[in-house]
Homo-oligomer: A and B are copies of this chain.
Amino acid sequence: MRPFSALRGASAAIVIAIVGGASVVRGDGAQKPASPIYGVTIPDGYRKWELVAPALEHEPLNELRAVVGNQEAIDAYRAGSLPFPDGAVLVKLAWKHVQAPEFESALVPGAATTVQVMVKDSKKYAASGGWGFGRFIGGKPVDEAQHETCFACHESRVKARDYVFTRLAP
C-alpha cells in the first residue's frame, strides 16, 4: 500500500475502503481490516477505554461482554445527552464464558470471540442512523451479509436511544 502512504485521515480511509473493499491505511502506512458496507476499523487503544457496562449473553452465544467507549462517548453518557456526538465510538468486547477455576459460583471470560465497533458520524453514516458498524473475529471483519443485520436490529429495538443498546452502568 505504499502508493497511499502519504494519505492521512478519514477521507483517505474512506477512499481506500471503497477501492480496496477490505482495508484502510493508517497514518503509519500499515493496513487495518475494515468492515464491509461501513469501512469501520478496530480503533487503536480501545482496550484502555473506560468501561460503559458488562453484560452476559445466554444461549446460544454464552458470552460475557463488556462495552467500552472513547471520551466523546463517555462524556455523552455522563451528560445523559442523545444523540451521541460525531466522533463517539463504542467497542464491545466478547468472550465465551467459562466456569471460574477457583470459584464455583462465578463465570469468567474464556476465549475472545468478537469485537464489535460503532462509530458515530452523522454525515458519513446518515443512511444508518449516523452509525457505522464493524464486527470482527480474530481482528478480521465478518462478511457483508452479517453487517447488513447490524442496523436493522439496532433500528428495530433501540432507535429512541440513538440506536445504542448499552446503558452506562451506575
Contacts and interface: CB of A to CB of B under 8 A. Distances in A.
A56 B169 contact: no
B57 A106 contact: yes
**Copies of this chain, count:** 2
Given A48-B50, A50-B48, A158-B102, A55 B165 contact: no
A157 B104 CA distance: 11
A169 B50 CA distance: 15
A95 B170 contact: yes
Interface in A68-104: 68, 93, 95, 97, 100, 102-103
Contact of A59 (B47, B105, B108): B105
Contacts of A107: 55-56, 58
24 contacts: A47-B50, A51-B51, A53-B109, A54-B54, A54-B65, A54-B66, A55-B64, A55-B100, A55-B107, A55-B108, A55-B109, A56-B64, A56-B97, A56-B106, A58-B106, A61-B105, A66-B169, A100-B165, A102-B157, A103-B157, A103-B165, A108-B167, A109-B167, A112-B169
